[in-house]
A and B are shown apart, each in its own frame.
Chain A
Amino acid sequence: MADPMRIRAQAAGDKTTVRVLMSHEMETGQRKDSAGKVIPAWFIQEVTATHNGKTVLTADWGPSISKNPFLQFVVKGAKAGDKIAITWVDNKGDKRTDEATVS
């Protein structure tokens, strides 16, 4: 089970800045362990953001994204009290969804 994300969503005017910190190893599949064996690739492939259940962002990610990735984006029209949910799916099929309230 993956560790939780940290999501902050701050409204300013009609724009809400969402900042997300995800906990993930993001192995590229290029590295080798101490025994010389390739460490299998393991990374987030799909990221989806929803605003009150409506999808506002989808992203396809690859192995070039850093470990413990940070994502920031702006949602137009989100108000304080709205729900922002983020979902990621990795290449092993593991997934995680976390939700935050716009403040």
Chain B
Amino acid sequence: MKTRTLIGVAALALCAGAQAQKSTADGIAEYRKMLEDGNPAELFEAKGEALWSQKRGPKNASLERCDLGLGPGVVKGAFVTLPRWFADTQKVQDLESRLVSCMATLQGFDAAEIVKTPFGRGEMANVTALATWIAAESRGMRFNLPQSHAQERITYEVGKRAFFYRGGTHDFSCASCHGDEGKRIRLQELPNLTRNPGDGIGFAAWPAYRVSNGQMWSMQLRLNDCFRQQRFPYPGFGSEVTIALATYMGVNAKGAESIAPAIKR
């Protein structure tokens, strides 16, 4: 009898816990909804838009001839097809590494110098602003990454392996947190990135403005911080592993609607 009562109490406690969790998640959703109206990402969008057509760099040129995969100067719709293969650089590139290539070839900036710059500083802040604007130009469109080039398929496979690769002091992989439904870190729900997690979730929500630290986060910075949370060494900006992971997530997100730039807690 006594055991029974205890089980009863335990079951009640579980129910209460589940209810509290639900309302917390709802609360966060409500908070995001309230913030959406004045998303400061718009400020970065405006900055990026101005940077795109501004003549800058040693060559005093704009980025308006930059080919983001849909032809020189085509911005609308480019974001939802990246990362993809680029014949001129002979590489699969994501939006940010592609922007750095354009800044180097068109404007004459030193690509190695930009890649070394910490996030949020100097030219790196400009890359983030440009990425924010370019992502915003594809808002509401659905992800459809090309997989026709052999290198794109290889990059996807490399990304898949990197995603499931366990290591570091905590024996973590991306899949530890993002390989199942219904997981969370503290109060943040974690999307399952091994399939399409839905419209505007996971890959389809970045770049995003983070209210807690007032920073604009690009996909490269998002991945960089995922590596930190796994206690892995920091990946290089635009390195093969970050692009492989982005390709894996992007191909999996096929059909998901992009809401970027989003707003995060």
Give A contacts to B, CB under 8 Å.
3-4, 6, 19, 21, 23, 66-68, 70, 72
A–B complex contacts, Cβ < 8 Å, 17 sampled: A3-B43, A3-B47, A4-B46, A6-B46, A19-B38, A21-B39, A21-B40, A21-B42, A21-B43, A23-B40, A23-B43, A66-B211, A67-B214, A68-B40, A70-B37, A70-B38, A72-B38
Interface of A is mostly: loop
Residues from 31 to 63 in B contacting A, C-beta threshold 8 Å: 37-40, 42-43, 46-47
Shortest A86–chain B CB gap in Å is 13
Q: Total number of A-B contacts with CB less than 8 angstroms? A: 28
Shortest B211–chain A CB gap in Å is 8
Shortest A34–chain B CB gap in Å is 11
Give B contacts to A, CB under 8 Å.
37-40, 42-43, 46-47, 211, 214
Residues of B within 8 A of A21 (CB): 38-40, 42-43
Q: CA separation between A6 and B214, bound complex, in Å?
A: 17
Residues of B within 8 A of A70 (CB): 37-38, 40
Shortest A19–chain B CB gap in Å is 6
Interface pair B37/A19, CB less than 8 Å apart: yes
Please, which residue of chain B has its CB at the minimum distance from the CB of A72? B38
Interface pair B43/A68, CB less than 8 Å apart: yes
Interface pair B37/A6, CB less than 8 Å apart: no
Residues of A within 8 A of B38 (CB): 19, 21, 70, 72
Q: CA separation between A68 and B42, bound complex, in Å?
A: 10
